[in-house]
Structure 1
Amino acid sequence: MSTFFYGEGNIGSAPEYREFANGNEEPHRLVRLNVYFDNPIPTRDGFEDRGGFWAPVEIWHRDAEHWASIYQKRMRVLVAGRQERDDWEDADEKPRTTYKINARCVGILPYRIEQVVLSSKPTTNESEDEE
């Protein structure tokens, strides 16, 4: 079961990149982010976080290895995707449940960003325009 998810939060640790074999085909690639989705409420002294939560965010894409090098701890991101229930057992064989986000897109928000550098490699649309 899954449900649409849209939220803003901070990456809490370095991204984790993994590859999974797919027979003779190109491997499946995953970048996993641990994101804290906060709920900032305005107060007299600024903001107070009420009701935030941590969630693993998974991005399955052929460019996941490249994206793992772009995302950084403490970045502010906007995540859109599906929230999925993940049932598992811990080391003591007790049943556990985690809700993860299977992201369709993860946008980097401009907070705490010092510099943006664009690739000199043309995108698909640019190379078609030149022809």
Structure 2
Amino acid sequence: MAYWTWCTWQALYRHRYLEFDMATTFFYGKGNIANSPELRRLTSNNTGEEFDVASVRVFFGRYGRDENGDIQQKGGFWREVVIYGQKAIDVAKHLRKGARVLVSGEEQEFYTKDDKERANPIIKIVAEDVALLLTRIEKVVFVQPAQRREQGERQAPQGGDTSHPLDEEIPV
């Protein structure tokens, strides 16, 4: 059984067991961010609690080889990607237009209203995770864990030493 078929079957089985009436469409793709993420704080209609949501348009290109053997774009599609909670805050803080990302989540149908109040379906990706790919990255700076920052331990050495305790060779 193909992996994709297995995942879809598992999702259908799991949702039937939980008595949901819709199938899940898993999504996993690499794309380029079209505009910087927009972060909003919304209030739940059901509980009245506030939550964060980031939304961003991403172009997921399809690539293949041309007659010369060179890799060329052969199509693609745009999707609105939304992510919730702390991950939404992180996405809005760290990602910008042009960034290459890996998105994993579910495709879900939402409805918008046009000027005549008709409901129009649109498909969005509700992301479980959005990962920054290393394409177009010049520098990465890691923040120390909160405990170490508070205690002031293991401050970054002056003079440009970027070694890490786990960077030493491991005998095989």
Query: Given the two structures, how large is their TM-score scaled by the length of structure 2?
Result: 0.63
When you count helix as a share of all residues, which structure comes out higher? 2
Greater relative CO (CA pairs within 8 A, separation 6+): 1
Q: Deviations over 1:87-106 (max 9, x none)?
A: 22222445432110000011
Look up the match of 1:13: 35
> Which string of whole-angstrom CA distances, capped at 9 and with x for unpartnered residues, describes residues 53-77 of structure 1?
1001001013522330101110110
Which structure has the greater CA radius of gyration? 2
Report the CA distance between 1:51 and its aligned residue: 2.9
How many positions carry a matched residue from both structures?
A: 124
Write the deviation string for residues 9-51 of structure 1: whole angstroms up to 9, x where unpaired: 00000110000135775x2101111100110112227332223
Q: Sequence identity, in percent?
A: 34
Larger strand proportion, structure 1 or 2?
A: 1
What corresponds to 1:64 in structure 2? 88
Is the CA contact (8 Å cut-off) linking 2:87 and 2:129 kept in structure 1? no
Q: 1:39 — aligned with what? A: 62
Corresponding position of 1:30 = 53
- 5+ residue gaps, structure 1: 125-131
Flag structure 2 segments of 5+ consecutive residues without an equivalent: 1-21, 148-172
Q: Structure 1 34/45 Cα, relative in aligned 2: closer, same or farther at 3 Å?
A: same
Cα separation, 2, equivalents of 1:96 and 1:24: 26
What's the Cα RMSD here?
A: 2.5
Q: Give the structure-1-normalised TM-score.
A: 0.81
After TM superposition, the structure 1 stretch with the greater mean CA deviation from structure 2, 103-112 or 15-24, is 15-24
Determine the C-alpha separation between the residues in 2 that align with 1:91 and 1:71.
33
